[in-house]
Amino acid sequence: MPDATQTRDSASSTGPLLDIRNLRIEATVYPPDEPPHDITIVEDVSLQLEKGKVLGLIGESGAGKSTIGLSAMAYGRGGVRITGGEVLVNGRDIRQLNPRGLRHLRGREVCYVAQSAAAAFNPAHRLMDQVVEATLKHGLASRAEAEERARELFGKLGLPDPDNIGQRYPHQVSGGQLQRVMTAMALCSEPDLIVFDEPTTALDVTTQIDVLAAIKDAIRDTGVGALYITHDLAVVAQVSDEIMVLRHGKLVEQGETRQIIEQPQEEYTRQLVSVRKIDHEEKSSGGKAILAAKSITAAYGSSTSDVLKEVSLEVRPGETLAVVGESGSGKSTLARVITGLLPPRRGSIEFDGRKLSKGLEGRSRDDLRELQMIYQMADVAMNPRHTVATIIGRPLEFYFGIRGRERDERVAELLDKIEMGEGFADRYPAELSGGQKQRVCIARALAADPKVIICDEVTSALDPLVAHGILDLLLQLQEEKQVSYLFITHDLATVKAIADSIAVMYQGRLVRYGPKSEVLSPPFDDYTQLLLSSVPEMEVGWLEKAISSRRMESAGN
Amino acid sequence: MAFLRRVPFGAAIGLVITVTMVLAAILAPWVAPYPGSQVLGGVWEPASSQYLLGTDNLGRDLLSRLIYGGRTTIFIASMATALAFILGSVLGFTAAVFGGWVDQVMSRLVDLLMSIPTLIFALVILSVLPSTIPILILVMGILDSTRVYRLSRAVAVDINVMDFVEAAKLRGEGRGWIIFREILPNALSPLVAELGLRFIFAVLFLSALSFLGLGVQPPHADWGGMVRENREGIVFGIAAALIPAGAIAALAISVNLVADWVLRRTTDLKGGRGDA
Amino acid sequence: MGGHPVIRLIAQRIALGILLLFAASLLIFLGTEILPGDVASSILGQAATPQALENLRNELGLNEPAYIRYFQWLGGVLTGDLGTALSNRMDIATSLWPRLKNTLFLATCAAIVAVPLAIILGLVAARYKNGLVDRTISGLALSATSLPEFFIGYVLMYFFAVYLGWLPSVSTVHEGMAFGDRLRAIALPATALTLVVLAHMMRMTRAAILNVMQSAYIETAELKGLSGSEIIRRHALPNAIAPIVNVVVLNLAYLVVGVVVIEVIFVYPGMGQYLVDHVARRDVPVVQAVGLIFAAVYIGLNLIADVISILANPRLRHRR
């Protein structure tokens, strides 16, 4: 104990807690059929973090934010190396440390919270043993003291039954709870700095808000410094004092949280801030429904528990119905039922005035053609061994018998529609970016000249700016072709941006359904209220407001 | 020929040896210095300029016999591998695409066949059937098709649940398009790598049977049979038996090196960072 | 229902194993039924008179339908009666028993050497992954998996028995032989058998360890400041033991089969030699009995591997 406090105090007497200067990080890549070569992941990034402060690192995938976070522990994942600059923790350059010195740093001065706590916990040990492991290893406390502190942290982080939860194994607690246990694990050895690497990204939105609040309180109460890494600007705005915007491994902009959110200086930051603001006027044609699901009840296999219970909804021509819900709400099952992949137990699907067969086999070619589907993961929705021309051209051949030059011309037209040039026709999916892949999938759906397109979480796997582009494209195509969308998503911001009417689902039931303006205005039912109040807004102080209004609600009840 | 320059050293050697052996087998009557079964000299004569590898237990030229024996070994092993592949992959794909009871029945049957060690089962069958070449091919091919079945079924099941296959089903495509245009192109690379491993297994298996006297019957001899013919010499310090045994080892290792490289290349297609 | 799910799962596996064994016995029986002639004609040869054939058929019960003979055979096996050999009219169980002991002795000796060696080599290769040591070990192992058993066997015999003259080239053992002499007699076949399974076992061990070492929780442990040996001891081993034990048991099954060829090379009086001799003589009852014993050992070892995997899975041991 005395030894530990001594080194810490002497080191932290001068300068910031974390001081990264001109950091450069490289990795060796092994592309197939090419000699291995080095690429630069992070270039010339400098940052400083004072004790007890929180710095948010934000950027799209490939921005190098996790890599920078881990450099504070002198750790490189899978062949990643720090090749330039200095990383000073408590005043000493940790790049100069020997392995023994590094072990003294990790788990004692700097701790790490991973995105997937489910994978980060060892399945063979009880949670408590893993939580106190670093504390005991570094001799910071006795086992009894450490466990006492862990229980205290469990309570502070809002875990149920804090006295006994440590006796469980990782697979015995839920994802949101594991994420909190991991935060407790990082806090247990009383480090000076914690690196949070997307700690709430894998969670449902209503769970995220609680974990976020728990993390924020814990940071404030313990006075630990933190690097908070995320791709979600609205989330990071709630917890950090300062924000650093990164792109392609380089610094874009850095400043106070309020300044970044309210007066971004750089164009890229401005785009990130405004990304959720698509102006979409609600249309209400009031025409006859093109697609109607009538009291659908469905279950998988011979299971007795229904995943969908009595769901009825309608899509009108040229409109967008957004189906929103969290994981397990049954929204994707609904899509499978409508497409015929999962015949419902009860209920029926009507399409353009005719009743569709429940199963796929019974549907005519036109039934299939007029109802198209776009998937969440564009890269697995396309055969990796087919070219873009084959992918887009196949529906033309299959449904309309268009071949040869005529087909090529139509493919070129479609590529043009999705704002991609003709040069893409000969490419394979692996040679496209994430956004381009999704565009090709849209073109494939359009090639069938459909009346309704089911969009299953089509933007959730994409970076915000790219997602924005896809939503824009979908709206523009709707304008042009009068196609209807059944838009399935967990993201309320997307819903607000694109929907004409909204269906809110919870545990297999429809809890709220109607035109967007009605669904989004009070009075709300409990679940919709919870859902709406859980979506982070790009506003400093939103989290506190949301939590306190939620407390008032529950007090009122 | 930029392709050949990227072949790693080990795989290149493997490729050269494999190709040489296959060519020698095909061109046996033109390459072999003497007929394979003609008695020419004394028993187990040492290597000389006349008999490059010496003579065997009856005084036949060992090199010529090795070349003709390679013909038999490679022919039977290739046929058995081809049979195993056609049978295994067709049934495996069918099980994966049809699913349900078709899959259940075939998979449980394969489990049963695999519950008895291959060599033991082959011995049981060969105790009542004559060891003719067609029967050897049939027995080896059918027993080995269980491995191919498992692999192709697993690969096809993985691909069959991918979104792009579902998209094709939603489009209304028939089973033919789904198997041949969607699944097969993506299953090819792991199957090609497996082809090499199955061929090695067939070579080793046939050699073991012949060595035990239950494979290719005299006067014909494959490499395993040659080991059997010459094994008595070992105790007298005559290494003739080691030459066909070494040939089997060389062929098996060479094919293994090539297959390993093919397999590596397929996994590399995903690209990747860090330790390859 | 009832009981801990693990116990239920294991009971299920064992029941499945027994079912599989019965199915295997049926398969072995059917395998010997597909011959064009029958056992009687293969014993008496081409020149037999129809009368002699008929007499022998009656004596052997071959005129009964196949399913009755199957149940008679199975009933005999279950009561320890393996039948009589056609070739010498000896009781099969009596001649089999000493040979089974010999085979198990040989296999056990090989396993005692091979298992620790394979695990150590696998650990070393995994520890220095992609380094020179790993590449050497893995390269040798890759080559070794493609070597025929008789190549290894005869090279050992040529070198150690003939060239150096250290060990006997033929492994003769008999009842009442001193343990030391017995060990000396089987030194060469045991070494050959060890080499045969070593490469497989080592490669699979290495893969099992690397699989565990790539888990996210190993990174967590590293970021807690644990040393390499602590990470392996506390985090990798508890999760790697099950796959490694699984690998070992599966390879023991492989070893039992490898015994057949090795025994023939060294003329060792075990089950493998016994089986091969009687296959050549078309002595069906012996082949059926020995085949069934090999299958039982193989199925049993696979069953043990399954049960170990179940026992080692924390998700199954501690239910929600």
Tokens 């609205």, residue?
A234
Does residue A191 sit in helix, strand or coil?
coil
The pLDDT score that the predictor gives to residue A71 is 92
pLDDT bucket at A120, cuts 50 / 70 / 90? very high
Q: Which residues of C touch A193 (CB under 8 A)?
A: none
The pLDDT score that the predictor gives to residue A491 is 84
**Helix ranges (DSSP H) in B127-183:** 133-160, 163-171, 175-177
pLDDT bucket at A7, cuts 50 / 70 / 90? very low
* Chain A, chain B: beta-carbon pairs less than 8 Å apart: 72
Is the model's pLDDT at A50 over the cut of 60? yes
pLDDT bucket at B268, cuts 50 / 70 / 90? very low
Q: A236-250, A539-553, C275-289: which has the highest mean pLDDT?
A: A236-250
User: Do B234 and C162 form a contact (C-beta atoms < 8 A)?
Assistant: yes
pTM given for the model = 0.80
Q: Does C166 fall in a domain?
A: yes
* Residue C52, phi then psi, degrees to nearest 5: -60, -40
Q: Which domain holds residue C168?
A: 93-282
Is the model's pLDDT at B256 over the cut of 90? no
* Mean pLDDT of the residues in chain B: 83
The number of residues in chain A equals: 557
pLDDT, mean of residues B244-266? 83
How many angstroms separate the CA atoms of A219 and A238, rounded? 12
- The residue with greater pLDDT, B256 or A396, is A396
Does residue A20 sit in helix, strand or coil?
strand
Does residue A377 sit in helix, strand or coil?
coil
Q: Which of A12-21, A371-380, A539-548 has the lowest mean pLDDT?
A: A12-21
User: Do B83 and B138 form a contact (C-beta atoms < 8 A)?
Assistant: yes
Contact A103 C226 (CB under 8 A): yes
pLDDT bucket at A6, cuts 50 / 70 / 90? very low
The pLDDT score that the predictor gives to residue A421 is 79
How many angstroms separate the CA atoms of A493 and A278, rounded? 9
User: Do A286 and A451 form a contact (C-beta atoms < 8 A)?
Assistant: no
- The residue with greater pLDDT, B160 or C142, is B160
pLDDT bucket at C39, cuts 50 / 70 / 90? low
Closest CB to B120: pick one of C23, C155, C295. C295
Contact A28 B269 (CB under 8 A): no
Contact A172 C230 (CB under 8 A): no
Q: How far is CA A461 from CA A61, A252, A435, in A?
A: 10, 23, 10
User: Do B218 and B34 form a contact (C-beta atoms < 8 A)?
Assistant: no
Q: Which of A529-543, B27-41, B135-149, C215-229 has the lowest mean pLDDT?
A: B27-41
pLDDT, mean of residues B101-129? 87
The pLDDT score that the predictor gives to residue A12 is 43
* DSSP H or E stretch at residue A47: strand A37-49
Q: Does C200 fall in a domain?
A: yes
State the smallest CA–CA distance between residue C178 and chain B in angstroms.
25
Percent over 90 (pLDDT), chain A = 34
Every domain of chain B and the residues it spans: 72-275
The predicted-structure confidence for A389-425, as pLDDT tens digits, reads as follows: 999 999 999 999 988 899 999 999 999 988 887 788 8
Interface of C with A in 213-252 (CB under 8 A): 215-217, 219-227, 230, 234-235, 238-239
The pLDDT score that the predictor gives to residue A33 is 58
Is the model's pLDDT at A1 over the cut of 50? no
Is the model's pLDDT at A556 over the cut of 60? no
How many angstroms separate the CA atoms of A149 and A136, rounded? 12
Domain count, chain C: 1
Q: Does C210 fall in a domain?
A: yes
Closest CB to A32: pick one of B167, B265, B274. B265
Residue at A521: amino acid letter? S
The pLDDT score that the predictor gives to residue A516 is 86
Q: How many CB atoms lie within 10 A of CB A184?
A: 28
The pLDDT score that the predictor gives to residue C279 is 85
Is some CB atom of chain B closer than 8 A to the CB atom of C130? yes
Q: Which residues of B touch A385 (CB under 8 A)?
A: 185-186
Burial, B111: exposed, middle or buried (Cβ in 10 Å; 0-12, 13-18, 19+)?
A: middle
Q: How many CB atoms lie within 10 A of CB A64?
A: 24
User: Do A121 and C220 form a contact (C-beta atoms < 8 A)?
Assistant: yes
User: Do B200 and B252 form a contact (C-beta atoms < 8 A)?
Assistant: yes
Greatest distance between any 2 Cα atoms in chain A: 81
The predicted-structure confidence for A488-510, as pLDDT tens digits, reads as follows: 998 888 888 888 999 999 988 99
pLDDT bucket at B75, cuts 50 / 70 / 90? very high
How many angstroms separate the CA atoms of B239 and B241, rounded? 6
Interface of C with B in 206-245 (CB under 8 A): none
- Of the candidates C150, A261, A156, the residue with the CA atom closest to the CA atom of residue B215: C150
The pLDDT score that the predictor gives to residue A555 is 63
* Mean pLDDT of the residues in chain A: 87
The pLDDT score that the predictor gives to residue A19 is 92
Q: What CATH number is given to the structural domain containing C214?
A: 1.10.3720.10
Is the model's pLDDT at A464 over the cut of 60? yes
Q: β-strand A509-515 against A501-506: which pairing, if any? A: antiparallel
Chains in contact with chain C (at least 3 beta-carbon pairs closer than 8 A)? A, B
Q: Does C117 fall in a domain?
A: yes
Is some CB atom of chain B closer than 8 A to the CB atom of C143? yes
pLDDT, mean of residues A479-488? 91
Q: Does C264 fall in a domain?
A: yes
Is the model's pLDDT at A270 over the cut of 90? no
Does residue A255 sit in helix, strand or coil?
strand
Closest CB to C28: pick one of B111, B116, B129. B116
Residue C239 corresponds to which tokens in the numbers above? Answer: 């999760």
User: Do B216 and B225 form a contact (C-beta atoms < 8 A)?
Assistant: yes
Q: How far is CA C225 from CA A110, A142, A226, C239, in A?
A: 10, 18, 18, 20
| DSSP character at residue A524 | P
Percent over 90 (pLDDT), chain B = 17
Contact A137 C216 (CB under 8 A): no
Burial, A375: exposed, middle or buried (Cβ in 10 Å; 0-12, 13-18, 19+)?
A: buried
Q: Which residues of A touch B192 (CB under 8 A)?
A: none
Tell me which CATH code domain B72-275 carries: 1.10.3720.10
Closest CB to B249: pick one of C151, C275, C279. C151
Q: What are A24's strand-pairing partners?
A: A84
Percent over 70 (pLDDT), chain A = 94
Closest CB to B169: pick one of A32, A360, A369. A360
The pLDDT score that the predictor gives to residue A395 is 94
Residue by residue, what is the 3-state secondary structure of B14-47? HHHHHHHHHHHHHCHHHHCCCCCCCECCCCCCCC
The predicted-structure confidence for C185-226, as pLDDT tens digits, reads as follows: 888 889 888 988 888 888 888 888 888 888 889 999 999 999
Q: Which of A327-331, A473-477, A478-482 has the lowest mean pLDDT?
A: A327-331
pLDDT, mean of residues B247-260? 87
The predicted-structure confidence for B174-198, as pLDDT tens digits, reads as follows: 888 888 889 888 888 778 878 888 8
How many angstroms separate the CA atoms of A360 and B172, rounded? 8
Q: What are A374's strand-pairing partners?
A: A455
- Of the candidates A439, A489, A532, A491, the residue with the CA atom closest to the CA atom of residue A231: A491
pLDDT bucket at C1, cuts 50 / 70 / 90? very low
Q: How many CB atoms lie within 10 A of CB A557?
A: 6
Burial, A268: exposed, middle or buried (Cβ in 10 Å; 0-12, 13-18, 19+)?
A: middle
Residue by residue, what is the 3-state secondary structure of A335-376? HHHHHCCCCCCEEEEEECCEEECCCCCCCCHHHHHHEEEECC
- Of the candidates A171, A158, A77, the residue with the CA atom closest to the CA atom of residue A118: A171
pLDDT bucket at A14, cuts 50 / 70 / 90? low
Q: What are A238's strand-pairing partners?
A: none
State the smallest CA–CA distance between residue A491 and chain B in angstroms.
22
* Mean pLDDT of the residues in chain C: 82
How many angstroms separate the CA atoms of C302 and A485, rounded? 53
The pLDDT score that the predictor gives to residue B158 is 87
Q: Which of A478-487, B209-218, B262-271, C247-256 has the lowest mean pLDDT?
A: B262-271
Is the model's pLDDT at A9 over the cut of 60? no
How many angstroms separate the CA atoms of B36 and B15, rounded? 26
CA dihedral B8, B9, B12, B16 (to 10 degrees): 180
Q: Does C44 fall in a domain?
A: no
The pLDDT score that the predictor gives to residue B270 is 38
